[in-house]
Chain A
Amino acid sequence: MNSTSRRYFLGQCSGLSLGAMALDSLLAKVPIDIAPKAKRVIFLTQSGGPSQIELFDHKPGLAKLAGQKLPDSVRGGQRLSGMTKGKPQLIMPSHTEFARYGKSGATIGEWLPHTASVADDLCFVKSMVTDQINHAPAMTKFLTGHHLTGRPSMGSWVSYGLGSENRDMPDYLVLLSKMKRGSDQPLYDHYWGSGFLPSVYQGVKLRSGKEPVLYLRDPDGLPRHLRREMLDRLGELNQLRFEQTGDPEIETRIQQYEMAFRMQASVPELTDISDEPESVFDLYGPDSRRPGSYAANCILARRLAERGVRFIQLFHPDWDHHSRLKSWCTARCRDTDQPSAALIKDLKQRGMLDDTLVIWGGEFGRGVAGQGKWDSPEGGRDHHPRCFTIWMAGAGIKPGFSYGATDDFSYNVAENPVHVRDLHATVMNQLGINHETFTYRFQGLDFRLTGVEKSRVVNEILV
């Protein structure tokens, strides 16, 4: 039997629902056969495909090739999205100046000055590879391991496997940046969905505003003491029903209503960051004072991490810069640069970076060819799956390190490719989970996050 059989077995024997199992959340559901380095994950998801060419992957040689046709030998039959299909592929050099930062000398584009200031804490993986060229399938792949919907997201796997350290909160929480712009890439529920895993493991979206979790607020005019009273009576009558019917599911239900009550107190307390000291807002930047901003969500992420939430996922949309990089991409850099760096500094100051794995990245990269006119400021870049850059920090990941390299065009991986599957394997490994043996049986098959194709833990980036 597979390693989840213990869960299976418990379920079979006790007749308890999965809800009940979830309550028993201190119980890890996987045998820990690897020493865990990370207790939790903060995944700073940059949706839309940030341009590695402007931000991380320095290719000074491109300047000389500006406007030239991308050699076929480099392109190697790569598919293009419908937006640039059939158009000439003319090289557009990076819009940014690069410099070396920190003792590690990481090369970072000028649009990310704050990220540059923590370069020595970060590990850049410059040779990320995916096999999807459009947003929804690529993001689905990036987060669930498969481009079709229906698989559990990484956060659900982790929540299922490890459970929570906090009995008043769900294990997997999701935070979306609030923006005033009709996004071209909606953030689908299935990005944090539990797929075929029980829905108790799905990510719970925290919304900005008065009701961070849907239906969290009691109706107007119902004070908390009366809700408490009502739940006591409800528990009493449900207990009576349990005695009459013998159905253990009723006991689970009583417990779930109690956890709901606790969440009504714990979630607003948690999401109200106004009690943080001024120094924190100074660190995360002026945006952090505005609820719902990426910066405010970064502070929230740290608070959730402090409270033992297992998997915290931020989504910042609108990195899909098909045009006007200099105005568009810089806007998203300004939203995210200072807060992302601040989160690293903050976790480090609190001694939490050692057991918190932070990941920054999007579903794919962007192509070296200009979309629109390569020599106009209005030029942009199309999607590019063959290489992109992410960074990671904390929890046993080598700090001040850069792994993998692309060719002179930032088009193909030249050395040490890291497929998104390998990223998943590595994240799981840092959490103490063997991605090969951690499976869930569905439709007669043993599924795992990393799927059936070969994947590996990227040991080279581990301390």
Chain B
Amino acid sequence: MEDCVSNPVGSNILMRFLRPTQFSIILLAAWSTVLAEEPVDFNRDVRPILSDNCFACHGFDAAARKAKLRLDTREGAIAKVIVPGKPEESELIKRVKSDDPDEFMPPDDSHKKPLKPEAIAVLEQWISEGVEWGKHWSFVPPVKGGIIKGPDAHPIDHFVSQRLKLEGLKMSPLAPDHTLRRRLAFDLTGLPPTMDQIETGFDELIDELLASPHFGERMAMWWLDGARYSDTDGFQADATRSNWPWRDWVIDAFNTNMPFDQFTIEQFAGDLLPDAKPEQILATCFHRNHMTNGEGGRDPAESRVDYVLDRTNTTGTLFLGLTLGCTQCHDHKFDPISQVDYYSLTAFFDNIDEDGKAGGGAKPYMDYKSPYSARALAEAKKFLDQSGASFSALRESRFPAFERWLTTQQAEVKKGFDPWKIVHPVRVASKEGSRLRAEADGIVQVEKGVPVQDDFSVSTGETELDRITGVRLEVFPHPSHKDGKLSFTDDGEFILTNVKLRVSKKGSTQVRDLELAKAVADVNGKGRDSKYSSISGTLDDDPRTGWTTRTQPADKPHRAVFELSEPLILGGDETLDIVLMHRSLEERALIGRFRLALTDQRGGAVRSLGKMPMEQLADGEKPEGELRNKLLAQFLEDDAEYRAAARHHAEVKRQFNEINKANGKLKVMVLGERKVPRKSHVLVRGVWDAHGDEVKPAVLPVVFEDKSVRDRIALAKWIVSKRNPLTARVITNQIWQLFFGAGLVRTPNDFGLQGEMPTHSQLLDWLAVEFVDSGWDVKHLIKLIVTSDTYRQSGVVSKELLDRDPLNRLLARGARYRLPAWMLRDSLLAASGLLNRAKGGPPVFPYQPPGIWSDQFMGRFTYRPSLGPAAYRRTLYAFWRRSSAPTFLFDSAMRRTCEVTPRRTNTPLHALTLLNDKTSLEAARRLAAFDVKEIYRRVLSREPSERELQVCELQRQKALAFYKTDAQATEDFSAGGNAEKAAMTLVANLILNLDEALTHE
């Protein structure tokens, strides 16, 4: 339920009067008896009731305030509807209890439910006790409270066990060593322990892992989600950016344990620091990670405002735990933040030297050369060389066969060579009513009187060719046409908008479209609408483009040739239909007379209108020089293995070139101030150009006032000031969440009035103060957490404890939850030994299924998985397209806006991903080299039990029995291994999918 924000009213009242986690209906009956045991706490008990039920109409937002009544301040409340000490005289109580629908609060049209009797009782007790009012807890600076007994007592354990004692509970025993090591390794590095690490002592392991470069990678993943980092802009154009050096900056910052205050200041204002180093300017990319919109009709000025607001909202969520976005359109309904406060905060970000554009126009940029590219380039170069060598070897190995083939062909062509077989249609048809007449020589003549647009369809019938690789279209003039030209339209010219090849099978209801690779024509003309010209316009589904020969001679025939992507071998019961579509703007611009022909020649033969190589050979040309090369190329076209290798090598080359580019100076989006400052305004109802009052940069007074804060440096310093009550708590809470799966405040994005209270207030405050006092030392804070017994508890839970505390709010046990999807991918790479542990550099493209980008963008983008070692880099380095997050991830942050709340669901789609993703399968194949014991050690960091060994052995035997009888299946499943390997691959696939393998235990 982590991503379902719980209801503060229910939880907080219950928290006080019952044992906190017994949210059970039966116990509600016991309410009245436990009431009044101790005085109410305004923040914990009362404010949530008021906030939930009253503030929307009687809160901070003056515009929404009804009856001039405000209940968010004591003055407002006692001025009108509350008489301190006298609940029975207080209008508030009368109203919430009233039977009169006109009097009753909250009113019907608010769609709020009547207050529960328990809540009313709290209000009554609070009024009788004198209407004590406190500042909301998170706006009061934290202090180290509570006395920690004994020098050895761990502060975390102290607070947790103190709380448990109140509940009559105790901490769970420590988890077994292997569980702890695995937990620690995932928490500190996002990877399972190595084979050495499963032998290392726990304390030693802490230091080892904190010092590991993988520590920074793990922490960076947290920060990248919050910072909405992506490798593309988002929105319509979704152009690629080269901001990834910032990602490496983050990793380095965590690895070098940069103090968090400095980390903050550099990201907010590195560009403004005196003598700013390039890396400090680079850091400000943090505030440029927002989406940018390059949509055609978009006003960049509006987009710019969006970016400014996004920075403000990100600051609110990530550092302050405030839902500032609410304040864009109106004063905050729950938290004391006005629209003026909000827009004053935006003013800090309003003066960036940007103009709202996207793509390559999203200035300001810095030129930056990444220190991490050289390694990537060397890796790619090595791979390219290997690929080149094996490709050349393969090519040369084909030469003898080519010679033999050439000899045969030379003999064959002597018997005569007929490059094109004329189609004698068995059926011609039109969609809109044109009358087509097939003539003797394969020519199709259209009769006069044609409709405005039409599609002609020609069934080729049986062909003597074994296969079809290309289609030729001839277009002829005819006396019946307009001026004896090519068509019936007023200028006698035609426009062919699309060509389709469709195969249907007798007895089947389905038709398949064949992919056309290329089209060439003898001439391309120019239509009255200039979009009509080239033959290539016939290959898409766009009727606005197409082929015309207008402006070229219309008194003689024209030709075009279409190449099939793959040769077509027609089955005996299959029919090929060739469809010529005329769907242009020009009326009746239909081809008037045409003929189709087919060929079985591949390659250059169907990519040009010149003589085919085989024709040249037939004409007696010697197979030397260029002709020889052409013939060799044509020969190799039919060699599937060669073609695959050629494609592979070409892709390796392309990827090398990309990385080579990344090795140069990159444009990284950073902050930079405009010379002439912009005037900032309140935006009325949040509308970008509805300027209200002018505002100057100012910090949120509710957090703490400091009128001297006027620029981004000062803003950053204000955020990490000791006087700031929020930042240290909010960040501490997010870090805690990394280790327990949930924060001490369960609404990490909202420390405001509608957020939840901390489960352990004193603990959160103690840690927050410690964090600041340590000099914002992140590793120190983390070490404090992982050395506690609280952290090291076993996650085993009894039925009683589960009933009592299903969400583990009391921390009476270790946290057990599914690992984030990115850790799952990294861990199977690590466990199988596939992982490429390199650090930093240009993004990589881990395996994803074909079509994932092209489906979405109708072919505008194509995902090309990395080949070679780059395919096995950590997920952190995976290219992130904002509009299409990596498919192997689930429950991940969207990276559109700042997110700090983990999602954790459990669906069949996740199961399918983990079972069938190619990377997972590769890992299983790799693990198949080991026995079950070793696989257990690698995946689960422990030995299997007897029972587990038995189950796995049974699985292995069943699988083995099958694979021994099926060579093809063995070959496919094990990628060229034997039956033993195939069987073990399935066992490994099983172990990788164990709940334990997927879980932070």
With A186-B238, A324-B544, A436-B111 known as contacts, the answer to whether A245 contacts B856 (CB < 8 A) is no
With A11-B1, A200-B905, A259-B908 known as contacts, the answer to whether A188 contacts B856 (CB < 8 A) is yes
Question: Is A81 part of the binding interface, using a Cβ–Cβ cutoff of 8 Å?
Answer: yes
Q: Which residues of A contact B952 (CB under 8 A)?
A: 233
Chain A proximity mask over B796-823: 1 for CB below 8 Å, otherwise 0: 1111001100110000000011100000
Question: Is B996 part of the binding interface, using a Cβ–Cβ cutoff of 8 Å?
Answer: yes
Question: Is B408 part of the binding interface, using a Cβ–Cβ cutoff of 8 Å?
Answer: no
A262 to chain B, nearest CB (A): 8
Q: Which residues of B contact A289 (CB under 8 A)?
A: 504, 509-511
Question: Is B593 part of the binding interface, using a Cβ–Cβ cutoff of 8 Å?
Answer: no
Segment of B93-101, B717-725, B953-961 engaged in the interface with chain A: B953-961
Chain A proximity mask over B279-298: 1 for CB below 8 Å, otherwise 0: 00000000000000101111
Segment of B2-10, B596-604, B638-646, B667-675 engaged in the interface with chain A: B2-10
Q: Which residues of A contact B917 (CB under 8 A)?
A: 215
Partner of B858, one of A179, A211, A382: A179
Q: How far is the CA of A223 from the CA of B907 in the complex (A)?
A: 23
Q: How far is the CA of A379 from the CA of B966 in the complex (A)?
A: 63
With A136-B236, A291-B510 known as contacts, the answer to whether A249 contacts B859 (CB < 8 A) is no
* Residues B295 and A276 in contact, CB atoms below 8 Å apart: no
* Residues B23 and A219 in contact, CB atoms below 8 Å apart: no
* Residues B894 and A190 in contact, CB atoms below 8 Å apart: yes
Q: Identify the closest chain A residue to B749 (Cβ).
A: A443
With A180-B539, A189-B883 known as contacts, the answer to whether A290 contacts B511 (CB < 8 A) is yes
Q: How far is the CA of A227 from the CA of B969 in the complex (A)?
A: 13
Q: Which residues of B contact A7 (CB under 8 A)?
A: 4
Q: How far is the CA of A91 from the CA of B903 in the complex (A)?
A: 51
Q: Identify the closest chain B residue to A20 (Cβ).
A: B906
Partner of B859, one of A9, A182, A276: A182
* Residues B7 and A1 in contact, CB atoms below 8 Å apart: yes
B115 to chain A, nearest CB (A): 10
With A8-B7, A204-B909, A245-B796 known as contacts, the answer to whether A215 contacts B529 (CB < 8 A) is no
Partner of B9, one of A1, A176, A199, A222: A1
Question: Is A349 part of the binding interface, using a Cβ–Cβ cutoff of 8 Å?
Answer: no
Q: Which residues of A contact B323 (CB under 8 A)?
A: 443-444
Chain B proximity mask over A357-399: 1 for CB below 8 Å, otherwise 0: 0000000000000000000011000110000000000000000
* Residues A198 and B4 in contact, CB atoms below 8 Å apart: yes
Q: How far is the CA of A425 from the CA of B238 in the complex (A)?
A: 33
Q: Which residues of B contact A278 (CB under 8 A)?
A: 509
Q: How far is the CA of A331 from the CA of B851 in the complex (A)?
A: 24
Question: Is B947 part of the binding interface, using a Cβ–Cβ cutoff of 8 Å?
Answer: yes
A380 to chain B, nearest CB (A): 10
Question: Is A185 part of the binding interface, using a Cβ–Cβ cutoff of 8 Å?
Answer: yes
Question: Is B187 part of the binding interface, using a Cβ–Cβ cutoff of 8 Å?
Answer: no
Q: How many residues of B contact A (CB 8 A)?
A: 126
Question: Is B915 part of the binding interface, using a Cβ–Cβ cutoff of 8 Å?
Answer: yes
Q: Which residues of B contact A193 (CB under 8 A)?
A: 894
Partner of A136, one of B295, B540, B969: B295
Question: Is B849 part of the binding interface, using a Cβ–Cβ cutoff of 8 Å?
Answer: yes
Question: Is A416 part of the binding interface, using a Cβ–Cβ cutoff of 8 Å?
Answer: no
* Residues A188 and B883 in contact, CB atoms below 8 Å apart: yes
Q: Which residues of A contact B915 (CB under 8 A)?
A: 215, 218, 227, 257, 260
* Residues B806 and A331 in contact, CB atoms below 8 Å apart: no
Q: How many residues of A contact B (CB 8 A)?
A: 123
B850 to chain A, nearest CB (A): 9
Partner of B972, one of A2, A17, A190, A220: A220
With A19-B905, A327-B584 known as contacts, the answer to whether A134 contacts B912 (CB < 8 A) is no
Chain A proximity mask over B1-21: 1 for CB below 8 Å, otherwise 0: 101111111100000000000
Partner of B986, one of A15, A182, A198, A226: A226
Segment of B207-215, B270-278, B884-892 engaged in the interface with chain A: B884-892
Question: Is A14 part of the binding interface, using a Cβ–Cβ cutoff of 8 Å?
Answer: yes
Q: Which residues of A contact B884 (CB under 8 A)?
A: 189
A452 to chain B, nearest CB (A): 9
Q: How far is the CA of A442 from the CA of B855 in the complex (A)?
A: 32
With A1-B113, A15-B802, A247-B795 known as contacts, the answer to whether A150 contacts B4 (CB < 8 A) is no
**CB proximity to A under 8 Å, residues B505-521:** 508-513
Q: Which residues of B contact A222 (CB under 8 A)?
A: 969, 973, 986
Q: Identify the closest chain B residue to A254 (Cβ).
A: B995
* Residues B543 and A331 in contact, CB atoms below 8 Å apart: yes
Question: Is B351 part of the binding interface, using a Cβ–Cβ cutoff of 8 Å?
Answer: no
Q: Identify the closest chain B residue to A195 (Cβ).
A: B894
Partner of B912, one of A82, A83, A189, A215: A215
**CB proximity to B under 8 Å, residues A11-56:** 11-15, 17-20, 22
Q: How far is the CA of A326 from the CA of B948 in the complex (A)?
A: 68
Question: Is A459 part of the binding interface, using a Cβ–Cβ cutoff of 8 Å?
Answer: no
Q: Which residues of B contact A260 (CB under 8 A)?
A: 908-909, 911-912, 915
**CB proximity to B under 8 Å, residues A180-236:** 180-190, 193, 196, 198-200, 204-205, 207, 209, 211, 213-223, 225-227, 229-230, 233-234, 236
Question: Is A312 part of the binding interface, using a Cβ–Cβ cutoff of 8 Å?
Answer: no
* Residues A214 and B747 in contact, CB atoms below 8 Å apart: no
Question: Is A256 part of the binding interface, using a Cβ–Cβ cutoff of 8 Å?
Answer: yes
Question: Is B551 part of the binding interface, using a Cβ–Cβ cutoff of 8 Å?
Answer: no
**CB proximity to A under 8 Å, residues B747-763:** 747, 749-750, 752-755
Q: How far is the CA of A35 from the CA of B236 in the complex (A)?
A: 41
With A186-B238, A443-B754, A445-B754 known as contacts, the answer to whether A19 contacts B907 (CB < 8 A) is yes
With A15-B802, A245-B796 known as contacts, the answer to whether A290 contacts B955 (CB < 8 A) is no
With A189-B883, A327-B585 known as contacts, the answer to whether A8 contacts B4 (CB < 8 A) is yes
With A134-B295, A222-B973, A274-B508 known as contacts, the answer to whether A256 contacts B911 (CB < 8 A) is yes
Q: Identify the closest chain A residue to B971 (Cβ).
A: A221
Q: How far is the CA of A223 from the CA of B982 in the complex (A)?
A: 12
Q: Identify the closest chain B residue to A434 (Cβ).
A: B111
* Residues A230 and B858 in contact, CB atoms below 8 Å apart: no
Q: How far is the CA of A181 from the CA of B509 in the complex (A)?
A: 26
Question: Is B555 part of the binding interface, using a Cβ–Cβ cutoff of 8 Å?
Answer: no
Q: Identify the closest chain B residue to A10 (Cβ).
A: B1
Question: Is A437 part of the binding interface, using a Cβ–Cβ cutoff of 8 Å?
Answer: yes
Q: How far is the CA of A149 from the CA of B906 in the complex (A)?
A: 23
Q: Which residues of A contact B334 (CB under 8 A)?
A: 444
* Residues A215 and B849 in contact, CB atoms below 8 Å apart: yes
Q: How far is the CA of A188 from the CA of B298 in the complex (A)?
A: 17
Interchain residue pairs A-B with the least CB separation, the first 4: A444-B754, A81-B297, A19-B906, A221-B973
29 A–B pairs (Cβ distance < 8 Å), ordered by A: A9-B23, A19-B905, A20-B906, A22-B907, A182-B859, A187-B856, A198-B903, A198-B905, A199-B890, A211-B849, A215-B912, A218-B915, A219-B972, A221-B969, A222-B969, A222-B986, A226-B959, A229-B959, A241-B995, A246-B799, A248-B802, A259-B911, A281-B509, A291-B512, A324-B543, A327-B497, A331-B541, A437-B111, A443-B754
A residues touching B (Cβ–Cβ < 8 Å)?
Answer: 1-2, 5, 7-9, 11-15, 17-20, 22, 81-83, 85, 133-136, 149-150, 170, 176, 178-190, 193, 196, 198-200, 204-205, 207, 209, 211, 213-223, 225-227, 229-230, 233-234, 236-238, 240-242, 244-250, 252-254, 256-257, 259-260, 263-264, 273-278, 281, 286, 289-291, 317-318, 323-324, 326-328, 330-331, 377-378, 382-383, 436-437, 439, 441-445
Additional A-B contacts beyond A184-B296, A221-B968 (15; CB < 8 A):
A8-B6, A17-B906, A82-B298, A198-B903, A205-B855, A216-B916, A234-B993, A241-B995, A289-B509, A324-B543, A327-B583, A330-B453, A331-B541, A441-B5, A443-B323
B residues touching A (Cβ–Cβ < 8 Å)?
Answer: 1, 3-10, 23-24, 111, 113, 235-236, 238, 293, 295-299, 323, 326, 334, 453, 497, 502, 504, 508-513, 529, 531, 539-544, 583-586, 747, 749-750, 752-755, 795-799, 802-803, 806-807, 816-818, 849, 851-852, 855-860, 883-885, 887, 890-891, 894, 896-897, 903-913, 915-917, 921, 947-948, 951-952, 954-955, 958-959, 962, 966, 968-974, 982, 986, 989-990, 993-996, 998, 1001
